[in-house]
Amino acid sequence: MSDRYTENDVPNQTGKTVLITGANTGIGFEAARAFSAKGARVLLGCRDESRAVSAINAIKALTPEADLSWIALDLASLDSVAKAGQRVLEEPRLDLLINNAGVMVPPKTTTTDGFELQFGVNHLGHFALTAHLLPMLIRNEDARIVTVSSLAHKGGVIDYADLQAEVSYSRMKRYQMSKYANLLFTLGLHRRLVAANSPSIALACHPGGSNTELGRHLGPLKYLFLPLEFLMNSSAEGALPTLRAATDPDARGADYYGPAGFGEFSRSAKKVLMDERVYDPEAGDRLWEASEVLTGQRYHFD
Which pLDDT tens digit goes with each residue over 84-133? 999 999 999 999 999 999 999 999 999 999 999 999 999 999 999 999 99
Q: What is the pLDDT of residue 299?
A: 97
Q: What is the pLDDT of residue 69?
A: 98
Active site residue 169: no
Please pick, among 5, 160, 169, 175, the residue that the annotation labels catalytic.
175
Q: What is the pLDDT of residue 209?
A: 75
The model's pTM? 0.92
The mean pLDDT of the chain is 92
* Dihedral sign for Cα atoms in the order 86, 87, 90, 91: negative
Distance CA 19, CA 70 (A): 10
Q: What is the pLDDT of residue 3?
A: 67
In this model, does residue 267 exceed pLDDT 90?
no
Give 218's Cβ-side CA count (13 Å radius). 13
Centre a 10 Å sphere on the Cβ of residue 198 and count the other Cβ atoms it contains.
19
Contact between residue 94 and residue 136 where contact means Cβ atoms under 8 Å apart: yes
- Domains along the chain with CATH numbers: 9-294 (3.40.50.720)
Distance CA 230, CA 245 (A): 25
- How large a percentage of the chain has pLDDT more than 70? 89
Give rounded-to-5 percent helix, strand, coil for the chain.
50, 15, 40
Centre a 10 Å sphere on the Cβ of residue 281 and count the other Cβ atoms it contains.
12
In this model, does residue 230 exceed pLDDT 50?
no
The backbone torsions φ and ψ at residue 170, rounded to the nearest 5 degrees and listed phi first, read -115, 120
Distance CA 55, CA 74 (A): 17
In this model, does residue 298 exceed pLDDT 60?
yes
Q: What is the pLDDT of residue 15?
A: 97
pLDDT range class, residue 4, cuts 50, 70, 90: confident
Distance CA 153, CA 179 (A): 5
Task: Please give the average per-residue pLDDT across 198-225, as a whole number.
Answer: 69
Give 282's Cβ-side CA count (13 Å radius). 0
pLDDT range class, residue 261, cuts 50, 70, 90: confident
Distance CA 287, CA 121 (A): 15
